[in-house]
Amino acid sequence: MDETRVGTRLSGKRIALGVTGSIAAYKAVGLLRALRCEGATVSVVMTRAATKFVTPLTFEVLSGTRVVTDLFDAHEEITHLTIPERVDAFLVAPATANFLAKAALGLADDALTTMLLSVRGPIIVAPAMDGDMWSHPTVVEHVQTLRARGVVVLEPEVGPLASGQVAQGRLCGESTILAAVDAALAAQCDWHDQVVLVSAGPTQEPIDPVRFLSNRSSGKMGYAIADAARARGAEVILVSGPSSLSAPPGVTMIRVNTAAEMADTLFQNFRACTVLIMAAAVADFRPKEVAQQKVKKYGKADMTLELESTTDILTMLSAHRTSQIVVGFAAETEQVLSHAHEKLKAKGLDLIVANDVTQAEGGFGSDDNAAVILTATGEQRAFGLMSKRRLADEILTAVHEFCLVRPQRKFPVE
Ligand code: CTP
């Protein structure tokens, strides 16, 4: 392929490329380069048989990331659970008859098949095998099973095969595979016509030039929502308080510090958005006076800080809305549902995500979270402990289902 032609079709998309033990495994190298040239970030997973045909190092160098070959080769960053969660689409090329059988049955005896059971985005499979194998009733049945489950199984091409046979079984061409990935991603983009404004992280309210009031928010939930909305086709603006996280790819990020800066920035961007998701843990109070110089301790046995309230940004924005959907969070330590319901009503929200932040697992700083969603139209949906990225998808699905597809609201909430 012509590497000077750098495409943007898959720009910002994250693709997992599963490679299984077919002689066509060498073609996956070209495919990886083609995916990269189209702008995708690619994580490669190889079966043990695939490594007999091409070394993992080849894929490692060309992908720029570690190649997963072993289910038990746990790595902090890349595991059989993190890859399916982080990618937008899962492509298996070439796929052997053995792989098709395992995938159809849900076997999970290696890294690739185990990952496949956790994938929520589109799965595209490009088989390659001998012609007799492709037409064997067992393979035909497994392909039917996978297709019935929504997996895109591409038709192999007719041509000369490694066995010398001329039959249907050749891995289909790069352009066909890329087009299938592109089409599968496009079909997933249920948020493609939305402009989503997301807030995340804490705010910092200065006391003096070196001290501030803040809270334990890490920003992980809001960043996960921004990432999920982008993956589902939305244009995303993320307004973040101080956080160590980096901007998800493809998301416009605006960093702020104080509640007042967050309020101004969200206000400026609110008119252009279609959905506001307010995941930030905004400080409710700030010091009334900010000392220009560092406050000194000498001669003071105690100290009193006088605080004043910040703007309740959600209430302010929901009062200014034209047609925007407004979603809030409720961080609670007791009576989670009743407090969340009060906030839903008081702040004029379409939907609220209630969290019990006292739980040891989930809540501030954690990678996981459990939540209950309440809507202005009276729906309730509970989610047990799961990764914040997965919860982000559940929240977007609920907002889509309850607020975007069925937008009729019955305000005020009773
Ligand atoms: N929020 C806001 N502006 C504030 C405080 C909170 O927009 N000044 C938003 C949060 O982003 C969240 C929702 O309001 O989406 C609820 O925040 P939470 O901290 O749970 O509740 P508060 O409204 O601050 O009330 P309380 O602290 O009394 O629970």
The string of DSSP codes covering 226-277 is HHHHHHTT-EEEEEE-S-SPPPPTT-EEEE--SHHHHHHHHHHHHTT-SEEE
> Is residue 266 lining ligand 1, measured as CB closer than 6 Å?
no
What does the pLDDT read at residue 269? 98
Give the pLDDT band of residue 408 (cuts 50, 70, 90).
low
Q: How far is the CA of 302 from the centre of ligand 1 (A)?
A: 30
Whether pLDDT at 407 is above 80 = no
> Is 14-187's fold the same as 195-404's?
yes
What is the sign, positive or negative, of the torsion defined by CA atoms of 4, 86, 401, 274?
negative
CB atoms within 10 A of CB 311: 16
What does the pLDDT read at residue 367? 86
pTM value is 0.75
> Is residue 286 lining ligand 1, measured as CB closer than 6 Å?
no
- Where exactly are the structural domains of the chain? 14-187, 195-404
Q: Which CATH class is domain 14-187?
A: alpha beta
3-state helix/strand/coil string of 186-200: HHHCCCCCCEEEEEE
Mean pLDDT of 130-155: 96
Percent of the chain having pLDDT more than 70? 93
Q: How far is the CA of 281 from the centre of ligand 1 (A)?
A: 7
Mean pLDDT of 270-289: 97
Higher local confidence (pLDDT), 97 or 1: 97
Q: Distance (Å, rounded) from C-alpha 35 to C-alpha 27?
A: 12
The pair of three-digit structure tokens given for residue 290, joined into one six-digit string: 């900010």
What does the pLDDT read at residue 53? 97
Catalytic, 98? Answer no
Higher local confidence (pLDDT), 52 or 11: 52
Q: Which CATH number fits domain 195-404: 3.40.50.300, 3.30.420.40, 3.40.50.10300, 3.40.50.720?
A: 3.40.50.10300
Pocket probe mutation, ligand 1, options 282, 320, 329, 335, max atoms within 8 Å of Cβ: 282
Q: How does pLDDT run across 286-337, given as a tens digit for each residue?
A: 999 999 999 999 988 999 999 999 999 999 999 999 999 999 999 999 999 9
> Is residue 102 lining ligand 1, measured as CB closer than 6 Å?
no
Of ligand 1's listed atoms, the one at least distance from the Cα of 284 is 8
Per the prediction, the chain carries an average pLDDT of 91
